[in-house]
Structure 1
Amino acid sequence: MTQPTPSFLGLEKVHVLVTGASGGLGVALVRQLVEVAGARVTAHHNRALAPDSALAQLVRELGSDRVRTVQADVTSEPDVTKAVQGANGGDWGVATVLMLSHGVWPEEDVGVVDMEYARWKKTLAINLDGTFLFIKHWGRGVRSAVQNGTLSPDFPHVSVVFVGSTAARFGEAWHADYSASKAAVQGGGLVLSLKNELVKSVHKRARINAVSPGWIRTPMAARAMEDPKLLGQALATTPLMRVAEPEDVAAAMVYLASGTAAVHVTGSVLDLAGGMEGRLLNPPAVAKL
């Protein structure tokens, strides 16, 4: 089941906390962290975990000695606090890597002038506020571990990896709420601010980076990718002419998490959009991929 750990990653038995682990990307990320990198993963899920869900099945397959789960509403600070403390309280010690893969993309096309304030608030609460809360409490846990001597100040694998989006770079008409939430993270906001803060307030080798994918073939995007016009808009300026698989994004995130492979990478956004250069207002239809 488990493959040899590539020496350049150095993540064997490193404790990683993955948010949104029950989603399509989250499940792929947990699998790669365990099977490829040899890490130990605390997998966060938002709702009660159904026994037949992909994450529950993965936990049974990989074993509770490799994957454990915590539940939290990402918009609730008490929930997030409890989840992080639960992750850190076991025999694995503090989670030194935080992978933020939770998020919501409302399917309905709605312009700003017609958008209900409730939708705007919900999207930003999940995508932005939830990110803030997890970083806040994850950072406190790492800082405490350094202060009490259970984590070395020289430990290399202390990092945060976000999932951003091409919507943060090019915008996305009718989904301004989603674009705004991702731009606040991967643009000149959290990533660039925290790359300077974390080394001073949390751990001297702490790094923070983001990946910026376009469409990913996950259940959240399945219906949208069935629309030839929308798919054409997404791929018209993409030289590779393909939709990313969850494993494509997960592999890049695992690389960025590693304090040996990506030791000198921080404050960066890694483009994972097949060379995408923008969006066309009137794109040609493309075949379903």
Structure 2
Amino acid sequence: MDLDLRDVHVLVTGAAGGIGLATVTEFLGHSALVSAHYRSTKAALEEDTTCAKAAKESRLACVQADVTREEDVVRMFAEAEEKIGKPVSVLVVNHAVYNSKPAPLHKMSLSQWNETLTTNLTGSFLVIRQFLARLAKIKEEQGVDNDWMRNVAVVLIGSTGKSPIPGEFGEACHADYAASKSALTHGLQLSLKNEIVQLHPRARVNTVAPGWVRTKMAEESMKDERIKYQALATTPLNKIAEPEEVARQVALLASNRVSGHTSGQVVMIHGGMEGRLLNPKP
């Protein structure tokens, strides 16, 4: 399917991780121009053959930033524009931190809570705000009738355990992550979809919410039979998702040709999961 993403400039945050890297390669497969954000290391991007080829062809730019720092985020967009040669018109907000050590709320440290909320929520706010600021500036200078503005979209990466439907799943002992993702994909998304059209009449905001995905962290967790049972017991498809399956949904929502009348929606990628087991088999 032609998603009409050729030469559309896509910025993906957290691009060196499992879902992020798959998203980068998915967009490259649709002939998009991609800026891949990383915080500490870009090794995964450099080692991937698709990314390496795209970098040589000037279709991929790696941009470093700490998304919790305003000045870093401003610099990231400036570098992305300079390296790719045109403004960002599709933003994929994928970065996140997750403390894998279970911590009941009454035992959770303030530092853990603050780190998670600052990175996952405030960091996303800073990235989205700068994207909107660039959109507003170009609208003022050039109007909206530009080739680069034919496809303007924001795609957020949420999580099924942190569903925007209040109280659906949640995640015991990881309330910091659950709270950050729920705020991002519910309150922020639903507000943003109504604001962004003031800057571009066809701009859209949607969310992809994965369940278990075969990342390095998930594969390690799945070695524990209790966790594996808990993850799949209410999942009819009886498997976890591949990063590429999530990435394809991101690309579909980013495409104006395919999803041009879709905004404010959350697409669940969880194999039909119906809930969580609070007391899994031993």
Identify whether the pair has TM-score above 0.5, normalized to the shorter chain: yes
List gaps (5 residues or longer) in structure 1. 1-5
CA offsets, 1:227-262, max 9 Å, x none? 211121121111101111000000000000001110
- Partner Cα distance (2:22, 2:157) in 1: 13
**How do 1:143-154 and structure 2 match up within 5 A?**
143-149=136-142, 152=145
1:243 to 225, 232, 240: 240
Report if aligned partners of 2:234, 2:276 keep a CA contact under 8 Å in 1.
Answer: yes
Shift of 1:62: 2.5
Normalising by the residue count of structure 2, what TM-score does the alignment of the two structures yield?
A: 0.92
How far the C-alpha of 1:160 sits from its partner, in A, is 0.3
User: In 1, distance between residues paired with 2:25 and 2:281?
Assistant: 36
What is the match of residue 280 of structure 1?
277
Select which of 42, 45, 50 maps to 1:55.
45
Which amino acid is 1:222 matched to?
E
Q: CA offset at residue 148 of structure 1?
A: 1.3
Contact 2:16 2:41 in 1 (8 A): no
Residue type of the alignment partner of 1:274 = G
| Aligned CA-pair RMSD | 1.6
Q: Tell me, yes or no, if the aligned pair for 1:159 and 1:257 is still in contact at 8 Å.
A: yes
The AA in structure 1 aligned to 2:55 is G
- Number of residue equivalences: 273
Q: Percent identity?
A: 44
Q: Does 1:94 align with 2:87?
A: yes
The 8 Å contact of residues 146 and 153 in structure 1, kept in 2 or not, is answered as no
Classify the secondary structure of the residue corresponding to 1:44: strand
For residues 219 and 264 of structure 1, what CA distance do their matches in structure 2 show?
A: 35
Distance in 2, matches of 1:88 and 1:260, equals 24
Asked if 1 retains the 8 angstrom alpha-carbon contact of 2:9 and 2:84, the reply is no
Is residue 176 from structure 1 mapped to residue 186 from structure 2 by the alignment?
A: no
Query: Is contact 1:107-1:224 (8 Å) kept?
Result: no
* Unaligned segments of structure 2, at least 5 residues: 164-168
**2 CA distance for matches of 1:248 and 1:231?**
20
In structure 2, C-alpha distance between the alignment counterparts of 1:91 and 1:280, rounded to whole Å: 46
Superposed CA offset, 1:146-193 (max 9, x none): 221175278431000011001212100010001001100112x01111
CA distance in 1, matches of 2:6, 2:146: 19
1:91 Cα shift? 5.0
Q: Does 1:167 align with 2:164?
A: no
Of 175, 190, 193 in structure 2, the residue corresponding to residue 192 of structure 1 is 190
Residues 110-149 of structure 1 mapped to structure 2, 5 A cutoff: 110-149=103-142
Which structure: greater helix fraction?
2
SS in 2 for 1:211: strand
| Cα distance in 1 between the residues matched to 2:216 and 2:119 | 18
Separation (CA, whole Å) in 2 of partners of 1:153 and 1:196: 22
Aligned 8 A contact 1:46 1:71 in 2: yes
Instruction: Report if the CA contact (8 A) 1:16-1:98 is conserved.
Output: yes
Q: How does 1:202-213 map to 2 (within 5 A)?
A: 202-213=199-210
Distance (whole Å) between structure 1 residues aligned to residue 125 and residue 61 of structure 2: 23
Post-superposition Cα deviations, 1:73-100, rounded to whole Å, max 9, x if no partner, equal 1111111111012112345310100011
Cα contact 1:112–1:176 (8 A) shared by 2: yes
Deviations 1:1-45 (A, max 9, x none): xxxxx43x110010000100011111111111001x110000000
Matches of 1:240 and 1:73 in 2, distance apart? 37
Q: Which residue does 2:166 correspond to in 1? A: none
Partner of 1:253: 250
Q: Which residue of 2 aligns with 1:228?
A: 225
Give the one of 14, 25, 29 matched to 1:20.
14
Q: Judge which range, 116-125 or 88-97, deviates more.
A: 88-97
| Structure 1 pair 150–225 and aligned structure 2 pair: CA distance change class (3 A) | farther
Partner of 1:270: helix, strand, or coil?
strand
Distance 1:257 1:124, change over 3 A: same
| Residue matched to 1:77 | 70
